[in-house]
Structure 1
Amino acid sequence: MAHHYTVRGCRRPPPSAQGATLLLVGALLLGAAACGGSHDSTDGGGTRQVTIGLVTKTETNPFFVALREAAQKAAKKNGAGLIALSGKFDGDNEGQVNAMESLIARHVRGILITPSNTTGILGAIAEARRQGILVIALDTATAPENAAAATYATDNLKAGRLQGAYVRAVLGRRAPKLFMLDGTEGSTVSQQRHDGFLSGFGIKDDSPAIRGRAITNGDRNRGQAAMENLLQRTSDVNSVYTINEPVADGAYTALAARGLSRQVTVGSIDGGCEGVRDVRAGKYAATVMQFPVRMADLGVAAVTDFARHGRKPSGFTDTGTQLITDKPVPGLASRNTDWGLQHCWG
């Protein structure tokens, strides 16, 4: 259903919009912007303070926690204020729309968003841009990509290919018997990683090598439950694709409970410090590191540059991927967990 947007009279928005979670407010002078006035507040010396909104998919996923903390640090470094909001769960488009509406009402200068639904959020983005607010996508591009002014994100097809190529190489001459634990149905990131993995692994979506698949919404508990359910159907499995590290951890827990963890090669994507430690401990064989701190730094810098100098960013910027494993395979460049712990998510 399309959302109809109206510009209401000047009022302070409620502490948290329905369906969205207010996480933090950093260096922000609430209510300082006058009705119909500037997007930026001013301090006593007349220096304008840029106010930036951040909308993540969830408030608890470690990736988005790291992104939020990095954005807070970057905002402080750039002399800007930050309002951070999120959906209640991965796929909560309504919560993200409500968050966008709240930020528009607060007259922020720019909004950084990790879209849960790459098309469902377009109306809110269009309204923000109509009101002169710079909108930048982080982690996940909108569809179409140019709905946001710019995107700073992982090349998720590449990340999936790296995971798939590694897991297939570890299997060697063994015939693959694969479980696939996907993210959120309809999610662009989930589809790109899924497709990339299959490409790197060297099979198609209808391959008999895929012994089972499940939707996990990127959640650890759902990942564990999904793996338990799949193992009830068959324990004849030797490889597992996971959308992210929380799901990989849940999958490992289920495999270990059945005494199967040593016979199954699990790959993942994220590269958080906890995930790198899990690779070191042997919970899963490899992970593909992303760099959310770079995403946040680039996004905050772009908004402040736009607000102060009028320069508007554009296009897609790949913020990088790195395969992390302590068991390298020929033909795939990788870094070990020592390197990973020094650079996790940086």
Structure 2
Amino acid sequence: MVAAVAAVGLLGACGSDDDAPAETDGGEATSEGDVTVGLITKTETNPFFVTMRTVATDYAQEQGVGLTALAGEFDGDNEGQVQAMENLISQGVDGIMITPNNSSGVLGAIEQARSQGIVVIALDTATDPEDAVDATFATDNFEAGRLQGAYVRAVLGDEEPRLIMLDGTAGGTVDTFRHDGFLEGFGLEEGDPAILGMENTQGDQNTAQTAMENLLQRSPDVNAVYTINEPAARGAYAAIEARGLTDQVTIGSIDGGCEGVQDVADGKYAATVMQFPAEMVRQGIDAIVEAAGGGEAPSGFVDTGSVVITDNPIEGIESEDTAWGLENCWG
């Protein structure tokens, strides 16, 4: 159930595999060092988590830290992540960084790890409760959603909104925060008739495209689309383009990957909200190294930031252009 993966290479301008460690027989991305760290991502395919693994591998080697990287097989693979946690506990690592598929589904494994003195840090996705881990290094996802919503609504101006929402995975903390944040920024409440339809996409491009195609059958007059992430936005755009509606619909997204920023530059989305997964990983490794050396253990929530990326700035919403975005994508 666990896809144990090697850190992979170049993703846009986000990282390099020149120094990636050799893959072991078990498929784990590993490097050696006095301090040992495990990284568990949601999947091995989503570009966001690919970047995390790439950065973690490079940074661990720079710092002389041993790294084992594992992942679930698919978005929502809670059982796979639990097995990955148990694997790392048995290895006796000093710390584990995890992007939980389910905010409460890995609590037992996390408790087991912490009871053995292993520092556990949530990346990108908070646990429920948040203090189940030592610390969380992540985007303020409610704020990221709010920024997307405020920007998309501002683009519509005086036009009455007709909104479609492409969510991620039902019940996920990130999904809930972004969804709710978007509605607040957009100025709508759940159940408002201006929301023409909603579908879960698991953050997957093909699933999102199919969902958007189905929603367009019922609501061809849509003029605004919320997307949970950039793969979902690409799927939405493909469906909208096929229907010849690109001039009618404003798409917003969240991620800030290099490909996503280029999509904004090319006019596919009005804006994306950039996150900084590389910063999450670096800060997480630094915190584990400090704790392993007898320093203070990490604690609480650390916001690693978010920035609106667009080439059409709107007064009252702070943003950077796509040139800045391409220089800083997923840094």
Q: Assess same fold via TM > 0.5.
A: yes
Aligned partner of 1:20 in structure 2 is 2
Q: 2:162 aligns with which of 177, 183, 187?
A: 177
Aligned partner of 1:254 in structure 2 is 239
Deviating 4+ runs (over 3 angstroms): 25-28
Q: For 1:300 and 1:27, how far apart are their aligned partners in 2?
A: 17
CA separation of 1:106/1:258 partners in 2, compared to 1, >3 Å: closer, same or farther? same
CA shift, 1:27, in A, is 6.5
1:43-82 matches, within 5 Å, as 49-82=34-67
Aligned partner of 1:276 in structure 2 is 261
Q: For 2:314 and 2:68, how far apart are their aligned partners in 1?
A: 44
Q: For 2:192 and 2:246, how far apart are their aligned partners in 1?
A: 24
| Structure 1 segments unaligned to the other structure (5+ residues) | 1-18, 31-42
CA shift, 1:212, in A, is 0.8
Aligned partner of 2:15 in structure 1 is none
CA separation of 1:110/1:27 partners in 2, compared to 1, >3 Å: closer, same or farther? farther
Aligned partner of 1:196 in structure 2 is 181
Contact 2:21/2:57 (<8 A) preserved: no
Structure 1 length as normaliser, TM-score?
0.88
Are 2:78 and 1:85 aligned? Answer: no
Q: 2:207 aligns with which of 206, 217, 222?
A: 222
Aligned partner of 1:12 in structure 2 is none
Q: 2:273 aligns with which of 285, 288, 301?
A: 288
The one-letter amino acid of 1:287's match is T
Aligned partner of 1:265 in structure 2 is 250
CA shift, 1:310, in A, is 3.7
Deviations 1:78-107 (A, max 9, x none): 111110001111111001001001111111
1:101-140 matches, within 5 Å, as 101-140=86-125
CA shift, 1:60, in A, is 0.6
Q: For 1:213 and 1:305, how far apart are their aligned partners in 2?
A: 44
Aligned partner of 2:306 in structure 1 is 321
The one-letter amino acid of 1:300's match is I
Q: For 1:208 and 1:234, how far apart are their aligned partners in 2?
A: 12
Contact 1:27/1:82 (<8 A) preserved: no
Aligned partner of 1:333 in structure 2 is 318
CA separation of 1:131/1:213 partners in 2, compared to 1, >3 Å: closer, same or farther? same
Q: 2:290 aligns with which of 302, 305, 308?
A: 305
Q: For 1:181 and 1:289, how far apart are their aligned partners in 2?
A: 18
CA separation of 1:27/1:279 partners in 2, compared to 1, >3 Å: closer, same or farther? closer
Deviations 1:162-193 (A, max 9, x none): 00000000000000000000000010000000
Deviations 1:45-89 (A, max 9, x none): xxx711110000011100001111111112111111110001111
Q: For 2:114 and 2:267, how far apart are their aligned partners in 1?
A: 47
Q: For 1:127 and 1:215, how far apart are their aligned partners in 2?
A: 32
Contact 1:50/1:307 (<8 A) preserved: yes
The one-letter amino acid of 1:20's match is V
Q: For 1:89 and 1:24, how far apart are their aligned partners in 2?
A: 16
Q: For 2:294 and 2:164, how far apart are their aligned partners in 1?
A: 50
The one-letter amino acid of 1:83's match is T
CA shift, 1:309, in A, is 2.5
Aligned partner of 1:148 in structure 2 is 133
Contact 2:3/2:72 (<8 A) preserved: yes
The one-letter amino acid of 2:53's match is R
Aligned length: 311
Q: For 2:67 and 2:205, how far apart are their aligned partners in 1?
A: 29
Aligned partner of 1:343 in structure 2 is 328
Structure 2 length as normaliser, TM-score?
0.92
Aligned partner of 2:85 in structure 1 is 100
Q: For 1:100 and 1:187, how far apart are their aligned partners in 2?
A: 19
Question: Matched residues, percent identical?
Answer: 61
Q: For 2:80 and 2:224, how far apart are their aligned partners in 1?
A: 35
The one-letter amino acid of 1:190's match is D
SS of equivalent residue, structure 1 residue 54: strand
Aligned partner of 1:162 in structure 2 is 147
SS of equivalent residue, structure 1 residue 24: coil
- Structure possessing the higher radius of gyration over alpha carbons: 1
SS of equivalent residue, structure 1 residue 97: helix
